[in-house]
Amino acid sequence: MFSGSNSYLARLANIRADAFGGLERDEHVLAHIRAEQLAIVIRHTPSMMLANACNAAVVGIALWKSQGGWLAGVWTIAMIVSSLFAGLISQRSRRIATPPAVSRKAIQRIVCNAAYLGIMWAIVPLFFFAAATNGQQLVITAVSAGMLAGGAMAFATIPAAAIAIVAPIVFGTLIGISQIDDSVYLLVALLAIVYAVVLLRGVFTYSSEFARRLTALFETEKAVREDSLTRLANRVAFNEDLENALARLSRSGEQFAVLAMDIDRFKEINDQLGHPAGDEFLVQIASRLARRTREVDTIARIGGDELAFILTNVTQASEALEAAERLMMAFSEPFLLGDRSVEGSACIGVVIAPRDGTNRNDLLNRVDVALYRAKKGGQGTVRFFQPADDLLARERKALQRDLEKAIEDDQLFLVYQPFLNLLENRVTGFEALLRWRHPERGLVPPDEFIGIAEESGLIHSIGERVLRSACAMLSQWPNDIRVAVNISAVQFQNVTLLSHVTKALTDAGVSPGRLEIEMTESTSIAKYVSTESVVKALAELGVTISLDDFGTGFSSLTYLRKLPFERVKIDQSFVREMLMNSDCEAIVKSVIGLARDMGMDVVAEGVESRDQLDFLIQAKCKEAQGYFIGRPMTGDQATALLAGARGGKVWAAA
């Protein structure tokens, strides 16, 4: 019990909130509570000090002609001077904005000032009450009671300060009364004790409720400004901090850097290990990054797997690069998610203010452009914004708007490039290739707008139209002819892909076996986990799955075995060089042999000469595709080509 009491007194002496309300939680919140407490005391101090000086004058006048009146005069002057001085200081402090957070020492100074006032007022009953007349004792009692009430009210939000001013006055009054041999005064002493207890109980109740309200308010504000998962700042807090940084830049010229980070493999981990593992992945990343940033910097989660940083007082690109590389070190060690060890990586875009902008929109737009370039550079890449990027970004935005209009106005169309069966010397199908005839730019190459379509999400509506158009054209061709359609990695993330394929086949009235879905090697590997179920569902539907651009990615034979591929396409870069480069020749022969051994068909892309075609025939490659065999053509031309072949015409190239 005694040790518990000592513990309580220790907490009270150290201005700990749990000594009077159980609110000792977050030091950050308590610092804000202390700031509010200080503001209230400063607001009331001038009037309190004026009342203090008036009370001191009344006491001085009442005791002037008593025994020891000169001592009462000295006390009165000291009290009036100190009260007026404290009131003047607090009046000046009111003109200065109270800081949002206050240290414990600031409250301790308030407690010391309260104790000084309490001790000064305790002197009056302690030294003058016993020798005073009945009238003087009445004045001392009334003034002491008033100071008890006034002191408790003035420091109602700070219990330690209220105790510091009330306790000395009560003890001084009790000691002064005890010097008088009259039992009637015991009632006055008892009344003083009851009065003090009631006042302090009210102080504890009010201060506790005050702290609880403020804590609830701060927690609400914190929830608005904090990401609930990672406990990092959110987009709201990031924007506020960015505006503050811009204000400092305008006011004092303090430069800063803004970094945007995109985390790789987040969607893959979510799909493979589940959302709880994805959440834990983000939490661990946030923890590592927080340890690599300074307290004065801002780190925020502004999207699912997007983080942003504000690095204060950064004047040179080398400093920003050093900070970015330090952040990248957070991914140097694997992340342990349950019983799985997962590698992580990220890309970072960087801008520096005022070099790259002096307002929020410019900085955010340009750091996004820098991040886009970083992602193009691959995992672990850091890129700074370059002036030329701004023009590129505007052109991409304009092209995106034009692409949206192109979809509405049917400016997109398909052309078809034939597959030649080298063993049977006949056309066995066509690859549907997307084209865009821009009203002003003419034909826009696919590599210029497919990336924009993927980033903007337009690829889903485009992909649906491509499937519908290709299947509609396929319905006009003989039943032994197939059509191949390229599906991007982004489309495989859309749960409606399977339904789009099914609807396109049903509407066109063609069997699923005549539709071939081509996926690039980078798609099947980088997005393997998330696409596996979709690919298997398409295969079960009867759709043929082919692996495009084989040899250009970072695949392993495990993936080739696990995913239900029926056809492999040798990338044209190997076919083009196979007659001049022995390595390419070996790769082409190896892929043909591998596909044959695994029961898959093989197509060689990019055939542009008779010699290449002859080589492939000798290597027993089943099919070929390229300009030598046939350039991309319209649907009507493809239909005419098939009609001519059915009419007995021999394939010209063969």
Specify whether 428 is located in the same domain as 318: no
**Which residue, of 182, 207, 225, is where some domain finishes?**
225
Q: Are 220 and 368 found together in one domain?
A: no
Give the HSE-up count for residue 378: Cα atoms under 13 Å, Cβ half-sphere: 2
- Three-class SS of residue 450? helix
pTM over 0.75: no
**Alpha helices (H) in 95-158, listed in sequence order:** 104-128, 134-154
Residue 632 · residue 417 · CB < 8 Å? yes
- Does the residue 645 lie in any domain? no
Q: Tell me the pLDDT band of 483, cut-offs 50, 70 and 90.
A: very high
Q: List Cβ neighbours of 526 (8 Å cut-off, separation of 6 or more).
A: 268, 489, 553
Q: Looking at the predicted structure, is the pLDDT value of residue 366 above 80? A: yes
Place of tokens 């009111």: 94
Q: Let me know if residue 651 belongs to a domain.
A: no
- Whether 305 and 347 have beta carbons less than 8 Å apart is answered as no
Helical (H) or strand (E) element with 227: none
- Are 57 and 38 in the same domain? yes
Does 424 share its domain with 531? Answer: yes
What is the token pair recorded at 149? 């009430």
511 and 378 co-located in one domain:
no
Residue of 334 and 65 predicted with greater confidence:
334
Please tell me the total number of residues recorded for the chain in this structure. Answer: 654
Mean pLDDT value of segment 431-447: 89
219 and 260 in a common domain: no
Check residue 132 and give left, alpha or beta (phi > 0: left; psi -120 to 50: alpha): beta
**What is the rounded distance in angstroms from the CA atom of residue 520 to the CA atom of residue 536?**
16
Say if CB 633 and CB 415 are below 8 A apart.
Answer: yes
Cα(149)–Cα(153) distance, integer angstroms = 6
Is 230 within the bounds of a domain?
A: no
Distances (CA, A) of 264 to 268, 281, 283, 341, 527: 9, 11, 15, 15, 11
Distance in angstroms (rounded) separating the CA atoms of residues 623 and 613 = 10
Q: Note the pLDDT of residue 559.
A: 62
What domain range includes position 595?
A: 408-639
Whether a cis peptide bond, with omega within 30° of 0, leads into 387 is no
pLDDT of residue 557: 61
Strand 298-301 relative to strand 426-438, pairing: unpaired
Instruction: Mark which of 332, 352, 385 sits at the end of a domain.
Output: 385
Identify whether the C-beta of residue 110 lies closer than 8 Å to the C-beta of residue 158: yes
- Whether the pLDDT of residue 21 is over 50: the answer is no
Q: Are residues 308 and 445 in the same domain?
A: no
Average pLDDT, the chain: 83
pLDDT beyond 60 at 434: yes
Q: Looking at the structure, tell me whether residues 211 and 274 fall in a common domain.
A: no
Q: Which helix (H) or strand (E) holds 458?
A: helix 458-474
Q: Three-state SS for 335?
A: strand
* Of 214, 190, 172, the residue nearest 34 (C-alpha): 214
Which of 385, 418, 439 terminates a domain? The answer is 385
With a cut of 60, say whether residue 16 has pLDDT above it: no
For residue 623, name the pLDDT band (cuts at 50, 70, 90).
Answer: very high
Residue 80 within a domain: yes
Residue 616 in any domain: the answer is: yes
Task: Label residue 482 by pLDDT band (50, 70, 90).
Answer: very high
Q: Judge whether 26 lies within some domain.
A: yes
CB 263 within 8 A of CB 304: no
What pLDDT shows up at residue 151? 82
Report the pLDDT averaged over residues 255-279. 84
The more confidently predicted of residues 270 and 63 is 63
Asked if 241 and 219 sit in the same domain, the reply is: no
Which tens digit of pLDDT belongs to each residue from 377-430? 888 899 998 877 667 777 778 888 899 998 888 899 999 999 999 988 899 999
Task: Give the rounded percent of residues in the chain with a pLDDT score beyond 90.
Answer: 28
Q: What is the mean pLDDT of residues 588-612?
A: 90
Residues 6+ apart with CB under 8 A from 24: 11, 16, 17, 18, 30
Residues 615, 471, single domain; the answer is yes
CATH number, domain of 596, equals 3.20.20.450
Contacts of 529-535 spanning 24+ positions with Cβ under 8 A: 529/268, 529/271, 529/272, 530/267, 530/268, 530/271, 530/272, 530/492, 530/493, 531/489, 531/492, 532/562, 532/563, 534/492, 534/497, 534/498, 535/492, 535/563, 535/564
pLDDT for 218 beyond 80:
no
- Residue 328 contacts residue 350 (beta carbons within 8 Å): no
Q: How confident is the model at residue 40 (pLDDT cuts 50, 70, 90)?
A: confident
Quote the tokens at residue 259: 């970094």
* Separation of alpha carbons 586 and 594, rounded Å: 12
Cα angle value 145/149/150 (rounded, 5°): 110
Q: Is residue 247 part of a domain?
A: yes
* Structure-token pair, residue 448: 């210029």
3-state SS assignment for residue 581: coil
pLDDT value at residue 99: 60
Residue type, 625: Q
In whole angstroms, what is the distance from residue 357 CA to residue 411 CA?
A: 37
Task: Show the tokens assigned to 228.
Answer: 């609930």
User: Does residue 113 or residue 228 have the better pLDDT?
Assistant: 113
**pLDDT at residue 13, rounded to an integer:** 44
Indicate whether 403 belongs to any domain. no
Query: Which run of H or of E encompasses 426?
Result: strand 426-438
| Residue closest to 114 by CA, chosen among 173, 155, 85, 81 | 155
* pLDDT band of 275, cuts 50, 70, 90: confident
Higher-confidence position of 366 and 455: 366
Q: What is the pLDDT of residue 193?
A: 85
Structural domains counted in the chain: 3
At 144-187, the pLDDT tens digits run 888 888 888 888 888 888 888 888 988 888 888 888 877 777 78
Residues 64, 69: Cα–Cα separation, whole Å: 5
Question: Does residue 448 share a domain with residue 583?
Answer: yes
Encode pLDDT of 77-108 as tens digits: 998 998 888 888 877 766 565 566 667 788 88
Q: Are residues 377 and 428 in the same domain?
A: no
Structure tokens at 276: 């709880």
Q: Is the pLDDT of residue 251 over 90?
A: no
Give the pLDDT confidence score for residue 22 in this predicted structure.
43
